[in-house]
Amino acid sequence: MLMSCNTTHETLQKPQVWQALKWAIDYDSIQKNILSLTYNVHQSFLPSGFPAALDDAPFHRDVAKAKALLAKARATRTAFDITLEHYSMQPYPDIAQAIQTQLSTIGIKVSLIASENRQVLTKMHARQHQLAITSWGADYFDPNSNTEAFYVNTDNSAGARNHTLAWRCGWSDEEFNQLTAQALHESDPTQRLALYQKIQQLHRKKSPFIFMMQQIQTTAYAKNLTDVHMTVLEQWP
């Protein structure tokens, strides 16, 4: 589960704004009071269990730090209004309301827009959202799957053919495009995993994506069955 910032929107163009949002959210409170037993806090685009996935959670609620970052980004007026799109099914409305309250403490007035999943994603495809809470899953068991989606955007124009998640947020960084290609073609397994860890660390600092939670999947099976395992691909936000 993540929140995306559309950097084509004037208010969301500066990296300090994205960072301010990351430090304004109370991840632990949302997990404990809304998502207990169903989600864990997870702050990386690679799901826990994937090769090279970072399982630490460096972001936590720090109102003073969030306000300072916002002031640095918006020297004249830090307070502003923004819309937050989210899926209408639970637990998304409750999470959106919590984030609405938490962002209000740093001067951001959030208007919530609840829609069916496809409507939210359609607006993102057209770059019509401002903020959006969605979920994402890996297509195959390799770090490149999510790295390409969240990192690669070689053509940020409106007419681009490849609408990656990075493109949908109007965000492109040539360093990340090159790092992703380097990691994909690295033949040494140890070096490859190290590159993906570096990419995740940089992504946290420089990207407009706010990774929050990873879903916990539960399986029920008969007592006479043994050696039951769930695949990691079912455990992404």
The CATH code that applies to domain 2-138+208-234 is: 3.10.105.10
> Which residues, other chains included, contact 105 with Cβ-Cβ below 8 Å and sequence gap of 6+?
24, 63
pTM over 0.85: yes
- Single-letter residue type at 90: Q
Secondary structure element (H or E) that encloses residue 149, with its range? helix 144-151
Which H helix or E strand runs over 202? helix 189-206
In a structure prediction context, what are the per-residue pLDDT tens digits for the chain, which is 237 residues long? 999 999 999 999 999 999 999 999 999 999 999 999 899 999 999 999 999 999 999 999 999 999 999 999 986 778 899 999 999 999 999 999 999 999 999 999 999 999 999 999 999 999 999 999 999 989 899 999 999 999 999 999 999 999 999 999 999 999 999 999 999 999 999 999 999 999 999 999 999 999 999 998 777 888 888 887 776 665 433
Amino acid present at 66 = A
User: What's the CA gap between 95 and 86, in Å, rounded?
Assistant: 9
Domain ranges in the chain are 2-138+208-234
C-alpha–C-alpha distance, residues 16 and 71, integer Å: 9
